[in-house]
Homo-oligomer: A and B are copies of this chain.
Amino acid sequence: MSDGQTPETLDPAAKKTVLRKFTYGMYVVTCADSEQTGAFTANWLSQASFDPPLVMVSVEKDAHSLPIIQNSGIFTVNVLETGQRRLAGHFGKKTAKVGDKLADIEHYQTESSQPILNDAVGYAVCRVINEMDAGDSVVVLGEVIEAGVHREDADPLTMAEAGFRHSG
Residues of A within 8 A of B (CB): 1-2, 4, 6-7, 9-11, 14-15, 17-19, 21-27, 43-56, 58, 77, 79, 111, 121-124, 127, 129-130, 132-137, 139, 141, 143-149, 152, 154, 156, 158-160, 167-168
Contact = CB atoms under 8 A, between A and B. Distances in A.
B121 A152 contact: no
So how many copies of this chain end up in the complex?
A: 2
A147 B146 CA distance: 39
A44 B47 contact: yes
A123 to B, nearest CB: 7
Nearest to A112: B9
B10 A145 contact: yes
A47 B52 contact: no
Contact of A25 (B22, B136, B149): B22
A107 to B, nearest CB: 16
Given A14-B122, A58-B48, A53 B19 contact: yes
Contact of A143 (B2, B23, B45): B2
Contacts of A22: 25, 27, 45-47, 79, 156
A30 to B, nearest CB: 14
A110 B18 CA distance: 16
Contacts of A132: 130, 132, 139, 141
A54 to B, nearest CB: 5
Nearest to A123: B18
Q: Residue among A9, A123, A127 with the most chain B CB within 10 A?
A: A9
